[in-house]
Amino acid sequence: MLRIEGLTKIYGDKKAVNDLSLHINPGEIYGFIGRNGAGKTTTIKACCGILRPDLGEIYVDGISIKDNPIECKKRMAYIPDNPDLYEYMTGIKYLNFVADIFEVGRAEREELSARYADGLGLTDDLAQPISSYSHGMRQKLAIISALIHSPKLIIMDEPFVGLDPKASHVLKTLMREICDGGGSIFFSTHVLEVAEKLCDKVAIIKDGKLIISGPMEQALGGASLEEVFLESEGEDRL
Amino acid sequence: MIKALLKKQLLELLSHYIPKDKKGKPRRGISLVLYALLLAYVIFILSFSGYFTANILCVPLSASGLDWLYFAVVGIIAAIFGIMGTVFASQSQIFDAKDNDTLLAMPIPPKKLLFVRALSLYIQAFFFEAVIMIPGIVVYVLNVKLEVTSIITSSMTVFLLPVFTLALSLILGWLVTLVGGKVRNKSAVVTVLSLMFFAVTFYLYSKINVILMTVANNGERIAGKIKNVLYPLYQMGKGASGDIKSFFIFALIIAIFFGAVYFILSRSFILLATSSRGVKKKKYTAGKMKARGASSALINREIKRFFSSPTCILNFGISSIMLIVAAVFMFVKASSFERLIEISPEIANIAPAVIAAAACLIGSSCVYSAASVSLEGKTMWIIESLPVSMKSVIISKLKLQIALSLPAALVFTTAANVVMKPPLLYTTLTIVTVTAYFVFFGACGLVLNILAPNLNWSSEAAVVKRGMSVTVSIFGGWGIVVLLGVGYYFLSRIAPVWICLSACSIVLALAASAAIIWLMRRGVKRIAFI
């Protein structure tokens, strides 16, 4: 579903991402771990067509994001780490806007927005302007807007930040349901316990280079994800 | 503590006036020099108008022994300028400041925070008033007397008067915050209040010559009234003209007024700055969702963006309102224009060019497209991650720009043509020229904003009022109209009017096409990865 081949992104003289390759199959939840500044967000943004890679190729459902970004974007949804949304819209108007862009039918958008908003506990607030939303409410709205067009691939940057425990639980359940239905999820997180329990595969990035990737059991080799991650950080460990 | 807060406040104030690049870093080099030149130009124009106004009043009032009235009038004009410049800043920088919660969570007494914020506002009021007051003092010294006492007291008044303005702006800002907090559609309230304020100001400004001449010719009668009704103003004028006792009385009045305002506001500041002020929460009830196509959703998004922002409406919409007012004015004064054409029939020949130039000059403040990319700000990721072609995004921005500027310009052009009655061919060519100009102007604004976007702003005023592409668009638009006017003038000496008008429309249409081609070819690539 998502194939990253030799992705390299350079800022000035620093390689933010260095020759990174990953392959995410349909039905997989792929966790992306790394310390702050390791290159996670840069990789994610390049996958979503927001950032132009200096080298390498990214394919979504076999389509090159460089050659046909719109077709790729039609198949995916992106939730950033800090969802700045249109403050001049209400929650429901924002959902309607996203549904319009993805050409979601009226009945389908009504059904999906009601289902996900109820699940995440945002229904009562949908008539409020987004400017009055808390961080968690914005995060919930961004999640609903990502799901409203039933994407095949969801890319999320720190999706659990700001969510209340119930919404976190609902999101984890939804992620599993989506992947069980053949969708794929690629997300970054610092919550290693969640990644360990939820992900089928994991990748650890350090200084722009992928140092571990593969099925969770194989990557852990009997240890916990926290131990593996701290081990990978080597000399920086406290 | 005060020192640290003051440093933060001054840095914040300075950052409002320093142009930034798209990553939010201060611009350097040629763009900074150009910006400084532009600022110097604005200060010069304001000071010159202050000098000009003072010159009308100074000699006649002083000759009647009404020196104090001269300073009182200059003071009023300066205070109006100061209030115009600070009243909305008072709301956004003091009561609705983004870091209120952060600072009030620290062990900072609210009165100290209010004091520091008020000091920042005082500095802004001081600069607005100084450009009027200082030329007023210069005119007085040059025309009336060079006396140490009056120079000292009038100079001290330059520092004292902004305290009065500050107190008034604090009250008005407090009222706007209170009213805005009580209603759901805050931006509509702010827009209406601002339009009312600007309407009164424009009315007074349009009558300024009459007012000044009335003051100059009826000084003694007006002086008598002011002495009785506006006692502080009398003391201010008297003090500024060299009366030390009056100066201290005025200083005392200002100190008491400001002290009272500061005392009252500092007691309620924490409540005002942190409460949501009781807007009733509207509960969502699921209804039918309206589906529309992607292009229409994009245009709708631009419309919502524009009309949700009082800053956008006031800065970009005002010129369209002025064009409509000018169209009505043409009809109201139709008989005067008809008489003018009867007296000088040759005016009918230059009328089409003058009408087109007037429409373009007035409408050139409507530059939404020049800020539309920057206005995306931190939400740029949304449009970049959605499956929409950047061509549609650009077209939606351009369509709104043209919808905002062109209809009002055409209303004015049509009204002026109906009143001036040029031949039908001239009228048609004027309409074509104006249309070509506004398409070109809108496209150029968008080109500039794609080339120099600023997505890292904390207040949208930074891109709407002080954005590099907005400033260049406005002044560039005026410059192009002047250039075309010069070209028209020389061409009209050898060619008939219809050829001159056709030449203008062709040049503008070609330029508009070039700008649109750039947007569709290179603009789409640039905007995709801004």
Mean of pLDDT over chain B: 85
Same domain, A106 and A219: no
Token readout for B372 is 């539309």
Cβ–Cβ of B282/A99 closer than 8 Å? no
* Min Cα separation B277/chain A (Å): 13
Residue of chain A minimizing CA distance to B285: A124
Identify the band that residue B406 occupies on the pLDDT scale cut at 50, 70 and 90: very high
Closest chain A residue to B386, measured at CA: A73
Distance between CA atoms of residues B195 and B321, nearest Å: 10
Question: Which residue from B92, B109, B105, B76 is spatially nearest to B2, judged by alpha carbons?
Answer: B109
Please tell me the distance from the alpha carbon of residue B98 to that of residue B273, in angstroms, as a whole number. 10
A41 has a chain B CB within 8 A of its CB: no
| Gap from B93 CA to chain A (nearest CA, Å) | 18
- What are the pLDDT digits (tens) for A139-168? 999 999 999 999 999 999 999 988 999 999
- pLDDT of B301 reads 96
Of the residues A150, A175, A210, the one at which a domain ends = A150
Contact at CB, A97 and B300, closer than 8 angstroms: yes
| A195 and A123 part of one domain | no
> Residues near B273 by Cβ (< 8 Å), separated by ≥ 6?
B95, B96, B97, B100, B104, B110
> Which member of B296, B308, B385 has the closest CB to residue A88?
B308
Pair of tokens at residue A202:
């994991």
| Residue A135 maps to a domain | yes
Q: Does B300 touch chain A (CB under 8 A)?
A: yes
Report the C-alpha gap between B193 and B202 in whole angstroms. 14
Q: What's the mean pLDDT in A118-134?
A: 92
B-chain residues near A157 (CB < 8 A): none
Cα distance between residue B496 and residue B275, in whole Å: 67
Please give the Cα distance from B457 to B464 (Å, whole number): 11
Asked if the C-beta of A11 comes within 8 angstroms of chain B's C-beta atoms, the answer is no
Contacts of B309 in chain A (CB under 8 A): 88
Task: Name the residue type at position B24.
Answer: G
Taking CA–CA distances from A82, the nearest residue in chain B reads B378
Report chain B residues whose CB lies below 8 A from the CB of A128.
Answer: 281-282, 284
Is A23 part of a structural domain of the chain? yes
User: For A105, which residue in chain B has the nearest alpha carbon?
Assistant: B291
Q: Taking 50 as the threshold, does the pLDDT of residue A91 lie above it?
A: yes
Domain count, chain A: 2
- Tell me if A136 sits within 8 A of A162, measured CB to CB: yes
What pLDDT score does B530 carry?
81
State the alpha helices, DSSP H only, in chain A: 40-47, 69-74, 91-101, 106-120, 135-147, 165-180, 192-198, 216-220, 225-233
Q: Do A128 and B281 lie within an 8 Å CB cutoff?
A: yes
Is B515 within 8 Å of B447 (Cβ atoms)?
yes
Q: Chain A partners of B377 at a C-beta cutoff of 8 Å?
A: 84
Average pLDDT, stretch B368-389?
94
Residues A110 and A39 in one domain: no
Same domain, A7 and A35: yes
Binary contact (B294, A103; C-beta < 8 A): yes
3-state per-residue secondary structure call for A172-205: HHHHHHHHHCCCEEEEECCCHHHHHHHCCEEEEE
What does the alpha-carbon distance between residue B29 and residue B509 come to, in Å, rounded to a whole number? 34
**Closest partner residue to A100 among B284, B292, B309, by Cβ?**
B292
Identify the band that residue B529 occupies on the pLDDT scale cut at 50, 70 and 90.
Answer: confident
CB nearest to B387's CB, from A97, A102, A127:
A102
> What does the pLDDT look like over B425-451, one tens digit per residue?
999 999 999 999 999 999 999 999 999
Res B268: pLDDT: 81
Is B289 an interface residue toward A (CB < 8 Å)? yes
What does the pLDDT average to over B302-324?
Answer: 89
**Domain assignment of residue A168, yes or no:** no
Interface of A with B in 188-217 (CB under 8 A): none
Q: Is the pLDDT of residue A237 over 50?
A: no
Q: Which residues on chain A are in Cβ contact (under 8 Å) with B285?
A: 127
- Is the pLDDT assigned to residue B14 strictly greater than 80? no
Return phi, psi of residue B190, to 5°. -60, -40
Distance (Å) from the alpha carbon of B402 to chain A's nearest alpha carbon: 22
Domain contains A176: no
The parent domain of residue A134 ranges over: 82-150
Residues of chain B contacting A124 with CB distance shorter than 8 Å: 283-284
Least confident of B56-60, B63-67, B181-185, B510-514: B181-185
Neighbours of A123 (CB within 10 A): 20
The answer to whether residues B442 and B319 touch, using CB atoms and an 8 Å cutoff, is no
Is A143 at the interface with chain B, CB within 8 A? no
Residue A32 has pLDDT above 70, yes or no: yes
Answer with the residue of higher pLDDT: B101 or B162.
B162
Q: Which residue of A has its CA nearest to B306?
A: A88
The answer to whether B442 touches B395, Cβ cutoff 8 Å, is no
**Would you place residue B38 in the very low, low, confident or very high pLDDT band (cuts 50, 70, 90)?**
confident
Residues of A in contact with B292 (CB under 8 A): 100
Q: Which two tokens stand for residue A20?
A: 């990174």
Structure confidence at residue B2 (pLDDT): 77
Average pLDDT over residues B139-163: 88
Residues 6+ apart with CB under 8 A from B35: B19, B27, B468, B471
Q: How far is CA B117 from CA B97, B179, B465, in A?
A: 10, 21, 21
Quote the CA–CA distance of B308 and A90 in Å, as a whole number: 11
> A225 touching B, CB under 8 A?
no
Residues A106 and A123 occupy one common structural domain: yes
Q: Is residue A24 part of a domain?
A: yes
**According to the model, what pLDDT value does residue B276 have?**
57
pLDDT at A235 over 70: no
A92 and A27 belong to one structural domain: no
Quick check: is A178 in a domain?
no
Picking from A63-72, B106-115, B267-276, which range would have the lowest pLDDT averaged per residue?
Answer: B267-276
Residue B364: pLDDT band (50, 70, 90) is: very high
Digit-coded pLDDT (tens) for B40-54 = 887 888 888 888 878
Nearest to B385 among A73, A97, A106 (CB): A73
Among candidate residues B403, B425, B439, B414, the one with its CA nearest the CA of residue B355: B414
Q: Tell me what the mean pLDDT of segment B332-341 comes to.
A: 86
Most confident of A177-181, A223-227, B262-266: A177-181
Pairing of strands A14-24, A29-33: unpaired
Sheet order of strands, A209-215 included: A76-79, A153-157, A184-188, A29-33, A201-206, A209-215
Decide if A171 is inside a domain.
no
The DSSP code for B20 is B
Establish if A31 belongs to a structural domain. yes
A138 and A215 belong to one structural domain:
no
CATH number of residue A38's parent domain: 3.40.50.300
**Does B218 contact A at CB distance below 8 Å?**
no
| Residues whose CB falls within 8 Å of the CB of residue B387, separated by 6 or more in sequence, listed in order | A70, A71, A72, A73, A74, A101, A102
**Chain A 86-105, residues with CB within 8 Å of chain B CB atoms:** 86, 88-89, 91-93, 95-105
Mean pLDDT of B63-83: 85
* Residue A47 shares a structural domain with residue A18: yes
**What's the gap between Cα B321 and its chain centre?**
14
Residues B464-499 have pLDDT tens digits of 877 889 988 998 999 999 999 999 999 988 999 999
Does one domain contain both A14 and A48?
A: yes
Tell me which of B186, B285, B375, B381 to substitute to probe the interface with A (most A C-beta atoms closer than 10 Å).
B381
Of A51, A71, A123, the CB nearest to B529: A51
For residues A94 and A85, the answer to whether their CB atoms sit within 8 Å is: yes
pLDDT value at position B17? 67
Contact at CB, A91 and B284, closer than 8 angstroms: yes
Say if A126 is an interface residue toward chain B (CB within 8 Å).
yes
Residue in B258, B256, B252, B247 with CA at minimum distance from that of residue B75 = B247
Is B255 an interface residue toward A (CB < 8 Å)? no
Q: Are residues A129 and A67 in the same domain?
A: no
Mean pLDDT of B329-337: 88
Helices (H) and strands (E) in chain B, counts: 23, 0
**If you measure CA to CA, which chain B residue comes closest to A94?**
B301
Last residue of a domain, one of A91, A126, A150: A150
**What percent of chain B stands above pLDDT 90?**
39
- Answer positive or negative: Cα dihedral of B244, B245, B247, B251: positive
Instruction: Tabulate helix, strand, coil % of chain B (nearest 5).
Output: 80, 0, 15
Instruction: Point out the least confidently predicted range of B86-100, B113-127, B326-340.
Output: B86-100
Instruction: Examine the domain organization and report whether A99 and A68 are in the same domain.
Output: no
Contact call for A73 and B378, based on CB within 8 A? no
- Quick one: which H or E segment has residue B146? none
- At residue B20, the pLDDT reads 63
Does B278 contact A at CB distance below 8 Å?
Answer: no
CB contact under 8 A, B387 and A85: no
Could you tell me which residue, B457 or B431, shows the higher pLDDT?
A: B431
- ipTM for the predicted complex: 0.91
* Residues A63, A32 within the same domain: yes
Report pLDDT for B158: 92
Residue B55 has pLDDT above 90, yes or no: no
Tell me the mean pLDDT in the region B12-23: 67
